[in-house]
Amino acid sequence: MSSQLFAIIAGAGPGTGRATALRFAKAYPVVLLARRPETYEETVAEINAAGGRAVGVSADAADPASLDGAFEAIGRELMPGLRLAAAVYNAAGGFARKPFLETRVEELDGNFEGSARGFFLFAQKTLPLLLETVPTSPPHAPTLIATGATASVRGSAQLGTFAAGMFARRALAQSLGREFGPRGVHVAHAVIDGAIDIPRTKGYAVNDGVEDGKLSAEAIAESYWYLHTQPRSAFTHELDLRPFVEKF
Amino acid sequence: MSSQLFAIIAGAGPGTGRATALRFAKAYPVVLLARRPETYEETVAEINAAGGRAVGVSADAADPASLDGAFEAIGRELMPGLRLAAAVYNAAGGFARKPFLETRVEELDGNFEGSARGFFLFAQKTLPLLLETVPTSPPHAPTLIATGATASVRGSAQLGTFAAGMFARRALAQSLGREFGPRGVHVAHAVIDGAIDIPRTKGYAVNDGVEDGKLSAEAIAESYWYLHTQPRSAFTHELDLRPFVEKF
Amino acid sequence: MSSQLFAIIAGAGPGTGRATALRFAKAYPVVLLARRPETYEETVAEINAAGGRAVGVSADAADPASLDGAFEAIGRELMPGLRLAAAVYNAAGGFARKPFLETRVEELDGNFEGSARGFFLFAQKTLPLLLETVPTSPPHAPTLIATGATASVRGSAQLGTFAAGMFARRALAQSLGREFGPRGVHVAHAVIDGAIDIPRTKGYAVNDGVEDGKLSAEAIAESYWYLHTQPRSAFTHELDLRPFVEKF
Amino acid sequence: MSSQLFAIIAGAGPGTGRATALRFAKAYPVVLLARRPETYEETVAEINAAGGRAVGVSADAADPASLDGAFEAIGRELMPGLRLAAAVYNAAGGFARKPFLETRVEELDGNFEGSARGFFLFAQKTLPLLLETVPTSPPHAPTLIATGATASVRGSAQLGTFAAGMFARRALAQSLGREFGPRGVHVAHAVIDGAIDIPRTKGYAVNDGVEDGKLSAEAIAESYWYLHTQPRSAFTHELDLRPFVEKF
């Protein structure tokens, strides 16, 4: 059964995206989607080398034509005949703390595009495929997961542009959960509250040097897999994830 | 003192915008900003006829160049030498309930522009003016108010694009409150939870025919005035407003 | 008209209670209710000396028999023939930061009694009176206000017992707003987020020495009066109040 | 290792309690705690018959002396020498929709006792044991889970007394998460949003007759097990659980 299913991870870079691809690849062939091949190539190779099946596709989720092309390729040649089991949207606009009056509106636009517009378009591409999977009695309910952040639920000084995009993404995820849950698709939103333990965050002041003081990307991925496996009698729409030492 | 202050209302159409302009005009000269003159002309005339002072200016808040022109005109000829006491952002993207898969991304973009981008640009224009007013010991703390909606705090089925814009606006308002409150500017966000009693909403199913079953725009405006008059020792950042019979 | 109305303030001690009594006394005769006469005597005298009308009554809001006695006295001799315009519940259990494992269950009980049980009983005594006032077309909708705190919406380390009582009070206020709003009674809850500027808080580390860095009790009282005067077409159920420099 | 650990489930009746006991019994010996033996006897027998290990103990969680006795028995004879891996508090006050003015204060007290006081006392008994387990490097972080409900986050008309207890419980869980998380104990709160599919809820109007329209207790238990297994680099403090067709 599940050999006829596949998963797609958008925003497949180091951290949550890569870990989620590796985790879902244990069960399904996976598509890694990112703007640039460098972002996914290594992970794709790793999965294939380990006996899984992965393909990468380059697209800008915030650009409808680019996304159209990617999904056409997925359906025609990358995963032909397979049904979509799970879609994870993990791309984001840039996080940068900056005084509001020094922030350019293009930074707001960039956050909106990566955090909200990209998720909107990705959801429009994946929800019809997930709905088609519902009647085929897959082992787990077809699932759409959006990665959120502390800034999805809280606007902070000098972080408004990032929060604007993430709040908007959460609004979409919540609305989609309410619209598509009753149709059998599980839509979930994860509030990642803390720094993820990847090379780029080494040296971040917060919790640095504390063992497990940053989020393990693998642990996040495991949570996403757990969400995917929840039966429809008990869907979680939103959960938070943070290191044990994180203030909240 | 307060004769040297002025207020600006963006999104000055029927309902909250017009009522807010009328209310603030009791204390200050007011600028009404809207895309088209038809939106504010009547209210401007009404205020001036009643002995107040009002001017209208046409601009698209989501367009930086358009807004630049409007604020240059305000400073140079419309309200020369006056200090900004209060700025209210009341424009919004369009509210329309529609199945997600039938929604075009341009509708999301439109909501983002009206609800978030416009507020961002308006805040960038008005906050420097409000900050300049702080040291002049105005009778009330300089104030920036954003109008929100139920959809600012809750994503509903088929209302995701509207909610995305309003969540994003709330993220900005919250972030600005945290950044500019300590500098003496009062930033507030009002969650308008219900239909406003204007000609366009006559016949809306919800609470129709119930006396006071819809929000009085004047009552909303009175709340905005109240927010403006709060002393800095007790600022409200967010309040909800709804008719007594509204479910919540 | 309003000479035939009265207001009652429970928890009439220094700070919010006293300031609220003084504010409402500008419009109505007021009853100050507290466990001990020392709590209200001075304020009662001050109001009467200034030409207002105030009486004090000693009762424990968490004790049904004690409250029964107080309301019987109010109806029979203190405010005979008057209708209730507004009731404010401002009593609270004790605020004390303490490691959970060193906290005695009696401290939880005390918080529950002051914050939730007392409000429950006070609401049961005042709501029937407020409902009776509705058809008499008072100038303002009959109003029940509960004072909350940061701990009404957020459980903090070592503050769980205080938060438990305040969360419970908020649950009651929210439920009452939903049940009695449609019947014409305005139920509101204020989240007081910060230290109140009274002698007891002098020297509190937070914002000490910053002008207006603590909440003015008079400003809180003014907000309560504002809530009371909102027309039923635009009731606020919840608002926050904090000093401009307060982190939130 | 894990043979030296045990779990305890308070409120071990049909539904979530029983299912959680069965789930945790796959990994640990379990103690089922309830006021009356009838509540747990059958489940205890079922676990033991299936090759697991379970014991029941009768106690009233809201009564300190009763709980003292139970934990003394657990340490001395029921689970001697074993360390506590997980504690789940699932007892609750009674759910009953009733007009506020017809509600007796004893109903509020009962909800407070079952929902908040019982959890407080249970946490005071189990947290020291969970803290002792931390340095022994158990396979999963020692965990305390509280069962919540829709009424933990929302007060509804005629449901205030139930909500008061559940809000208070959530306040405690949140405070404990913030205090004990950094010490290595995972405290989590689950918002169960919907009716649980047990014999007692057959015929409930909501979602009745819809397959999977009510929460499977086994699915809730699986979520609790999942929470227990989260590594400390990514703890979830709160998640919601609801049937796919549930309105939210």
The contacts of residue C98 (CB under 8 Å, 6+ apart) are: C107, C158, C161
pLDDT for the residue B74: 97
Cα separation of D10 and D90, whole Å? 6
- Cβ B134 vs Cβ B183: under 8 Å: yes
Flag if A215 and D197 touch (Cβ within 8 Å). no
Residue indicated by tokens 């985790």: A23
| Other beta carbons less than 10 A from residue D75's beta carbon | 14
If we measure between CA atoms, which residue out of D224, D137, D148 comes closest to residue D184?
A: D137
Tell me how close the Cα of C49 comes to any Cα of chain D, in angstroms.
38
Q: How confident is residue A30, by pLDDT bands cut at 50, 70 and 90?
A: very high
Sign of CA dihedral B203, B205, B210, B216: negative
Longest alpha-carbon distance in chain C: 55
Give the pairing of strands B5-10 and D5-10: unpaired
Render pLDDT for A3-23 as a digit per residue (tens, 0 to 9): 499 999 999 888 999 999 999
Q: Is C120 on the interface with D (CB under 8 A)?
A: yes
What's residue B203's pLDDT? Answer: 76
CA atoms of A235 and B148, how far apart (whole Å): 30
CA D158 to chain centre: 25
Q: In this predicted structure, what is the pLDDT of residue C206?
A: 75
Distance from CA of B59 to the nearest CA of A (A): 17
Dist. CA A122–CA A68, nearest whole Å? 10
Q: Which two tokens stand for residue A183?
A: 């149709």
Rounded Cα distance between C163 and C157, Å, is 10
Average pLDDT across chain A, whole number: 95
Task: Over range B128-137, report the average pLDDT.
Answer: 97
Please compute Rg for chain C using Cα positions: 17
Tokens (6 digits) for D159: 């449901």
Cα C44 → chain centroid: 17
CB atoms within 10 A of CB C68: 13
Per-residue confidence (pLDDT) for residue B201, from 0 to 100: 82
Q: Do C220 and B232 touch (CB under 8 A)?
A: no
Q: What are B86-118's pLDDT values in tens digits? A: 999 998 777 789 999 999 999 999 999 999 999
User: Which chains share 3+ C-beta pairs under 8 angstroms with D?
Assistant: A, C
Q: Which two tokens stand for residue C34?
A: 């507290």
> Per-domain residue ranges for chain C?
2-241
Task: Return mean pLDDT, chain B.
Answer: 95
* Rg of chain D (C-alpha set): 17
Residue D31, chain A, CB below 8 Å: the answer is no
Whole-angstrom distance, CA of residue D205 vs CA of residue A222: 36
A179-234 pLDDT, tens digit per residue, is 999 999 999 999 999 999 988 888 777 787 899 999 999 999 999 999 999 999 99
Q: What is the dihedral of CA A85, A90, A91, A92, to 10 degrees?
A: 150
Q: Say what angle helices D160-180 and D118-133 make with each other, to 10 degrees.
A: 20
In the three-class reduction of DSSP (H, G, I as helix; E, B as strand; rest coil), residue D87 is classed as strand
Quick one: how far is CA C200 from the chain centroid?
19
Q: Give per-residue pLDDT as tens, D159-213.
A: 999 999 999 999 999 999 999 999 999 999 999 999 999 888 887 777 878 999 9
Sorted by sequence, the CB contacts under 8 Å of residue B171 that are 6+ apart come out as: A151, A155, A160, A163, A164, A166, A167, A168
State CA A169 to chain mean position distance: 11
Give the whole-angstrom CA distance, residue D32 versus residue D30.
6
C-alpha dihedral (D6, D11, D13, D16), degrees to nearest 10 = -80
Contact C190, C236 (CB under 8 A): no
Q: Do the chains contact at C179 and D160, CB–CB below 8 Å?
A: yes
Positive or negative CA dihedral for B236, B240, B244, B247?
Answer: negative
Nearest CA to CA, how far is D45 from chain C (Å)? 34
Chain D residues within an 8 Å CB radius of C132:
none
Q: Are strands A186-192 and A238-241 parallel, antiparallel or unpaired?
A: parallel
Q: CA separation (Å) from A115 to A17, A147, A235?
A: 14, 9, 24
Average pLDDT over residues B34-57: 97
Mind listing the pLDDT tens digit for each residue in D95-144?
789 999 999 999 999 999 999 999 999 999 999 999 999 999 999 999 99
- What is d(CA D119, CA D175) in angstroms, rounded to the nearest whole number? 13
Check CB contact under 8 Å for C244 and B214: no
Query: Which tokens is A102 given?
Result: 């020094």
Residue A92 confidence (pLDDT) above 80:
no
pLDDT tens track of chain C, all 248 residues?
444 999 999 998 889 999 999 999 999 999 999 999 999 999 999 999 999 999 999 999 999 999 999 999 999 999 999 999 999 999 877 778 999 999 999 999 999 999 999 999 999 999 999 999 999 999 999 999 999 999 999 999 999 999 999 999 999 999 999 999 999 999 999 999 999 998 888 877 778 789 999 999 999 999 999 999 999 999 999 999 999 999 99
Q: Taking CB atoms and an 8 Å cutoff, what residues of chain C touch D116?
A: 108, 112, 164, 168
Please tell me which of the candidates B100, B155, B178 has its beta carbon nearest to residue A155.
B178
Q: How far apart are the first and last CA of chain A?
A: 42
The length of chain B, given as a count of residues: 248
Q: Which phi and psi angles does C118 have, rounded to 5°?
A: -60, -45
B136-152 burial: b if 16+ Cβ within 10 Å, else e: eebebbbbbbbbbbbbb
- Closest chain D C-alpha to C62 CA, distance in angstroms: 10
Name which of B179, B180, B185, B237 to mutate to probe chain A: the one with the most chain A Cβ atoms within 10 A of its Cβ: B179
CB proximity under 8 Å: C 205-224 to B: 212-216, 219-220, 222-223
Whether B145 shows a pLDDT value over 70: the answer reads yes
Report residue D155 as tokens: 């007060």
The angle at the Cα of C62, spanning C101 to C19, to the nearest 5 degrees, equals 95
pLDDT in tens, A121-131: 999 999 999 99
- How far CA B3 is from CA of A96, B79, D205, in Å, comes to 41, 11, 62
Structure-derived torsion over alpha carbons of residues C24, C27, C31, C34, reported in degrees to the nearest 10: 10
User: In angstroms, what separates the C-alpha of C242 from chain B's closest C-alpha?
Assistant: 5
Indicate the SS3 state at residue B177. helix
Q: Are C192 and C149 in contact (CB under 8 A)?
A: yes
Task: Measure CB to CB from residue B178 to each of A156, A172, A173 and give the nearest one.
Answer: A156
CATH code: domain C2-241 is: 3.40.50.720
**What pLDDT does A196 receive?**
93
pLDDT digits (tens, 9 = 90+) for A146-185: 999 999 999 999 999 999 999 999 999 999 999 999 999 9
Per CB-CB distance under 8 Å, the chain C contacts of D150 are none
> What is the Cα–Cα distance from B16 to B214, expressed in whole angstroms?
13
